[in-house]
Structures are given as C-alpha cells and as structure tokens.
Amino acid sequence: MNNNDDNNLRALIRESIAEPPANEWLTLRVVNRLKRRRTASSWLEKTAYGLSACVLVGVAVYICTDQHISISDITLWGATVGTLIALVAGIISDRIANLSEPS
C-alpha cells in the first residue's frame, strides 16, 4: 500500500468509528470506584494528631499531679486543647469535603 492508500484507509477508519459523546456516568462510576490512598499529607496529619494527643495527656497528668495550678498551667492547657480542636476540625472538614465529591 502506498501513502495514498494509507491516507484512504486512515480516512475510512476514522469515518467508520465515530467519537462517542462525553459520558458523564462513566466519569462518576470511575470516581466512585477510586479508593482513598494514604498520601503523604494524611500521614503528616495523623502523626500531628497523635503527637498532640500525647502532649494533651502529658499536660493533663502534669496538672492533675501538681499541688497548685498556676496561670501558666491553665494557659498551657488551653493552648493544647486549642491545638487539638484545630486538628480535629481540619480532619472533619476534610471528610466533609470528600463527602461533597460527585457520587
């Protein structure tokens, strides 16, 4: 076959196999089948969460065993709880964002 035949065959094949219209159901089905992977960011998030929980327990033990509670103890306690709440809020908002993905 020469180039002319090649071009004819190319044109015939392209004509005989039409491009189907975009199928949004296929996209949805694919996205729904994707599994959540453990990404670097999720590992970082979980490590930070675990460390904060350890610090929180440590501070609670320290305060409970201390004879007198000072202003700095309360500030430390507040800062730790605040950090923990911020982390939990971050995780929850992430989950909500995932739920709002097309399904």
Q: Does 13 bind another protein (CB under 8 A)?
A: yes
Least gap, CB of 14 to another protein (angstroms): 6
Least gap, CB of 65 to another protein (angstroms): 42
As given in the structure block, the two tokens for residue 60 are: 């609670």
Site residues for another protein, 33-62, by CB under 8 A, read 33-37, 39-42
Q: Does 70 bind another protein (CB under 8 A)?
A: no
Of the candidate residues 29, 57, 62, 82, the single one contacting another protein (CB under 8 A): 29
Neighbours of 87 (CB within 10 A): 18
Q: Point out which span in 3-11, 46-54, 72-80, 83-91 binds another protein (CB under 8 A).
A: 3-11
Q: What is the DSSP letter of 67?
A: S
What φ, ψ does residue 74 adopt, rounded to 5°?
-65, -40
The residues of the shown chain that bind another protein, judged by CB under 8 A, are: 1, 5-6, 9-10, 12-24, 26-27, 29-31, 33-37, 39-42, 98, 101-102
